[in-house]
Structure 1
Amino acid sequence: MSPTPARTRHHLLRALGAVTLLTACALGPGSPASAAPHSVTVDLAATSGPVTGVGSGFLYGLTEDGSGPGDDLLAPLEPTSGRGGGARLDGGGWAGDGYTAGPGYQRRITSALAQARRLTTAPHHGTYDLLVSDVWGADTTQAPDTVYPCAGGDCGNWESFLRRLARDVRASGLDVRLDVWNEPAGAFFPPGFNTEQYYGMWDTAVRVLREELPGMPLVGPSLWDYSAGNLGPFLDHAKAAGTVPGILNWHFSQDPVADAASARGLLAARGLDGVALGMNEYLHADEQHAGHQAWYLARLAASGIPSASHAIWDDCCAAGTLDGVLVRDGSGALRRTGQWWVYEAYAKLDGVYARTAADGPFDAVAAVDAGARSAGVLLGAPSGGAADTDLTLRGLARLGGVTVTVRRIPDTAPLDAPVTVSTTDVPAGTDSVTLPLRPESGQDAFSVSVTG
């Protein structure tokens, strides 16, 4: 969409000013300055599938050896996914070693496997997308004269790298997902996406990795954003070449629900069954606020995408701050933030999803565990959009007498605990209760717990 011309903007502003004046006159002196609160309704008696925890994952959220942060800060978030490949570690990976397995390569693969071990084994049992191109060295720190895989049609060195990587993954005994190349439409793969060289790189990777590591899912093309115009030709080529990934992956959807529906349409139109969806980077830097994060988690849960991981914009790539969800105080100790508390509230959702409906900026994800007589709701709005809202919980009668607690999660760093707004005892037989949510900042999120 092109920018609005200045003259058009001028007329629009004049028109808007006139509408504002007319509205003020219609209200008259003493009229209410604010509109009635918006509403969100959660029906605990109308449920769907089991809670998946999608979105509770981190790109380069751990320290280099995977040991940090400690379990006191990681375990409460119940991470379901992770992603990494040793980016920005000294040595430059395979390419930095002169296209061989030297110390730069070894440091990166060692780090990636250590992080994978932390996230994929007990107690977390999440997935880990091993970023193959970062181990190779394409992390924006590569030299200007870097020779990218399959230049001039020669894929020999790329194949040698893939077989060495596969050998090291196999020796680790870990199950990972192999993310072939990160964001190939930009600086990470200057030859370009959907080019002959890209397809040579991609097809070689799929062929070799399937041969060496059968059963391990392949992830791609991991585009910077969702683009049906780019994904369509990629899928056409991959179908013809027999190199369709097991997980069709992209980054930074504006709305995961809409993009997931579009992606399923692209796959269906080509008769490609059994391909999962993934988004192993989400949230732009200016969206990493408590309220926006809660809203996005609600949209991820509604999208049906099985896995998604929070993006990193600062402290790349071994700070162990869970992508800025933790911050360090003056003594160097890690402290929780509003974003951390959003993930903690999200992790507490258990059982099956409950139906939600909203007429304002807030969106909600809710779950109910009737056997445990408990339920939970997480609410947020896109950045800066939180507004006065009334939350109605229905279907409470199935849980018996309960206590409903509302907490406000400020977008603050550090934040030692959310703010308890209200605690309401709801007697047995009462099926519905309405609770006011009054944000003090446009970035606030809210969590609601129902306990029997």
Structure 2
Amino acid sequence: MARTLTALALALVTTAATVVTEATPAAAAGATLTVDVSRPFRPVTHAATGGLYGLAENNRPADSTLLPLRVNSLTQPAPGVGQRPNGQPPGGDSLLIAPQADRVGAGQYIRMPDIYPDFPYRWVSWNDWLAKVDTMVRARLAATTVTNVLAWELWNEPDYTWNTSAAGPFNEGWVRTYRAVRALDPLTPIVGPSTATYSRSWMQSFLTHARDTGTLPDIICWHELQNPDRIAADIADYRNLEASLGISPRRLSINEYAAPSEVDVPGRIASYVAKLERGGVESAHRAFWYEYGTMNGLVTGNSQPTGTWWLYKWYGDMAGNMVTTTTTSSGLDGFAAYDPTRKVVNVVFGNESGTNTVNLTGIGALGSSVRVTLLSTPSSGRFTAVSAPTVVSTTTRQVSDGRLSVSVPDMVATSAYQLLVEPVSGVPAYQQRYEAENASVFRAQRLTSSSASGGGYVGRIDNSGTPRTDSYVDFVVNVPSARTYTLTIGYANATGATATQGLAYNGGPWTTVSYPPTPSWGQFGATVSTTVSLRAGYNVIRLAKGSPYFSGGTGYAELDYIELT
């Protein structure tokens, strides 16, 4: 969040909200988190791994600290940024950081009012603002190798920063700005209204006016900066409001979350991520309170991981589907995923002290005996590096009727914990299969099919021709050694003719993948194979219908998974 802490306090007072001043919950110990592996609710997309002003222009933080997190998306300042957050020099220009964001598979929203230096923004005039809008959009259109722009964010926190006396009502200002952007760029989605808090009356007024003027945002956004317990009710209220106004369901983003007292506290962040995942948001970004170049405190100034980084690393390691978690406590909460290919259950939780319990159900596929590993990561703050999480215990446990109960003693409320449950016989030495629906998906669509590996796939990869419509899928993979791997791609192609896509990895040269026809769309089983020479550790593999320096594929193909062997 581009503001000082004093400004935050003023903003929250004006919205009559209660600020969370302590990260440690007051709930009593002895709570239970239940993880039902038999109830998946959506693919793993790492939706909440994002940041406001997460990247600085000089490739900070290092790619090596970002790739393990599978960064979903970012909100970055406008081209020609003037914003000086917390008194720092302007930084994070969306077009200048685009190459690094691209290298790690992250999309970005462009925050347009950050062309101004001050926060709250100082309004000049409509002529000044519209001239700036024109300059920003034209700069983006001229950047023909930038393809990871997800949306224009027309304004930021209008319930706090909009100068009604000088600029007129915000709803009318939204329409003028929307139409100015659309006159130049009819293709890039628009996100808003990006309010500081969720207010039903404020949102109803905005949506009604936007509906009636044909200026509804493609992505609805607001901020959750005070208390994660508000998230579920706010999202449910928004969905009810949307339906009552006859508005088709919009994509949702919470592109700032967590207060200053929370953002560097892993236990508290576990609660935020759990509730954001349950709410079905497309993206969520850590709020900006301090310095550029640290991914909002996930790494130190010299790119060393903090305690909170490890929570997001555990999140980044998730694959397959998010599965249902429920809690008996107002404190203890967590999120979990199940990878059916490796038979790995990955649970991340925290925000409670004392001895608590994680109950797992629906894990019969792992066998009658499982290996249970419990790790923890502390609240180290943003300046103290944590070289590795602490291994609390490794045990072998028996599963009864697909159930297992794990007691977690001596929890610290500010710490986060990871519970890994795997077959006692072990899992592959490295992840070999990567589901397309878990990857970074640009201008295509995640879909479901009973014949797809893991139940999901990516289809409608059907745009090409401009950096605003090119469709591609980025797989962030992790391999144990530098060598040549066989890359197998599961796909469907019902065009009746061979289709093609571009293949590149780590920004290298393009080759072409050919997909012979298959009987029908959404029916999988067919594969094609090629080879890729990867470096040890993390790599980004791109399959594209269109992308910079690739002239474009032919026909259409749906992607089920890739496999590296």
* Same fold at TM > 0.5: yes
TM-score range, shorter chain: 0.7 to 0.9
State the AA in 2 paired with 1:293.
I
Once residues 302 and 296 of structure 1 are traced to their aligned partners in structure 2, the CA distance between those partners, rounded to angstroms, is: 10
Which residue in the other structure is 2:327 paired with?
Answer: 358
Report how many residues are paired. 383
State the AA in 1 paired with 2:46.
G
Structure number with the bigger relative contact order (C-alpha 8 A, sep ≥ 6) is 1
Does the 8 A contact of 1:249 with 1:277 survive in 2?
yes
Do residues 392 (structure 1) and 359 (structure 2) align? yes
Once residues 432 and 275 of structure 1 are traced to their aligned partners in structure 2, the CA distance between those partners, rounded to angstroms, is: 37
| Post-superposition offset of 1:197 | 4.1
Correspondence for 1:132 among 93, 112, 117 = 112
| Post-superposition offset of 1:192 | 6.6
Identify if the C-alpha distance between structure 1 residues 297 and 132 changes in structure 2 by more than 3 Å, giving closer, same or farther: same
| Post-superposition offset of 1:442 | 2.2
Correspondence for 1:181 among 152, 155, 158 = 155
Identify if the C-alpha distance between structure 1 residues 350 and 266 changes in structure 2 by more than 3 Å, giving closer, same or farther: same
Identify if the C-alpha distance between structure 1 residues 88 and 342 changes in structure 2 by more than 3 Å, giving closer, same or farther: farther
Do residues 368 (structure 1) and 338 (structure 2) align? yes
Does the 8 A contact of 2:371 with 2:421 survive in 1?
yes
SS of aligned partner of 1:53: coil
Which residue in the other structure is 1:409 paired with?
Answer: 377
Does the 8 A contact of 1:192 with 1:198 survive in 2?
no
State the AA in 2 paired with 1:449.
L
Bigger strand fraction: 2
SS of aligned partner of 2:276: helix
| Equivalent runs, 1:191-340 vs 2, <5 Å | 191=164, 196-252=168-224, 254=227, 255-288=230-263, 289-315=265-291, 319-328=292-301, 333-340=302-309
SS of aligned partner of 2:392: strand
Once residues 203 and 123 of structure 2 are traced to their aligned partners in structure 1, the CA distance between those partners, rounded to angstroms, is: 25
Once residues 64 and 83 of structure 2 are traced to their aligned partners in structure 1, the CA distance between those partners, rounded to angstroms, is: 32
SS of aligned partner of 2:374: strand
SS of aligned partner of 1:411: coil
Once residues 262 and 90 of structure 1 are traced to their aligned partners in structure 2, the CA distance between those partners, rounded to angstroms, is: 35
Does the 8 A contact of 2:375 with 2:390 survive in 1?
yes
Once residues 410 and 56 of structure 2 are traced to their aligned partners in structure 1, the CA distance between those partners, rounded to angstroms, is: 35
CA offset digits 1:92-140 (Å, max 9, x no partner): 89xxxxxxxxxx9xx87x8221223422x2441x3211000002x1542
| Post-superposition offset of 1:199 | 3.1
RMSD of aligned Cα (Å): 2.8
Identify if the C-alpha distance between structure 1 residues 88 and 437 changes in structure 2 by more than 3 Å, giving closer, same or farther: farther
SS of aligned partner of 2:204: helix
Normalising by structure 2, we get a TM-score of 0.63
Identify if the C-alpha distance between structure 1 residues 147 and 69 changes in structure 2 by more than 3 Å, giving closer, same or farther: closer
Which residue in the other structure is 2:402 paired with?
Answer: 431
| Post-superposition offset of 1:425 | 2.3
Does the 8 A contact of 2:66 with 2:104 survive in 1?
no
Does the 8 A contact of 1:220 with 1:248 survive in 2?
yes
Which residue in the other structure is 2:66 paired with?
Answer: 74
Identify if the C-alpha distance between structure 1 residues 409 and 323 changes in structure 2 by more than 3 Å, giving closer, same or farther: same
Identity fraction in percent = 28
Normalising by structure 1, we get a TM-score of 0.78
Which residue in the other structure is 1:346 paired with?
Answer: 315
CA offset digits 1:140-195 (Å, max 9, x no partner): 276xxx54343xxxxx4433322221111111133421001111222x333379x8
Unaligned runs of 5+ in 2: 1-12, 14-26, 424-565
| Equivalent runs, 1:22-41 vs 2, <5 Å | 37-41=30-34
State the AA in 2 paired with 1:371.
T
Once residues 285 and 92 of structure 1 are traced to their aligned partners in structure 2, the CA distance between those partners, rounded to angstroms, is: 18
Does the 8 A contact of 2:79 with 2:93 survive in 1?
no
Identify if the C-alpha distance between structure 1 residues 36 and 132 changes in structure 2 by more than 3 Å, giving closer, same or farther: closer
SS of aligned partner of 1:327: coil
Once residues 91 and 224 of structure 1 are traced to their aligned partners in structure 2, the CA distance between those partners, rounded to angstroms, is: 18
State the AA in 2 paired with 1:431.
G
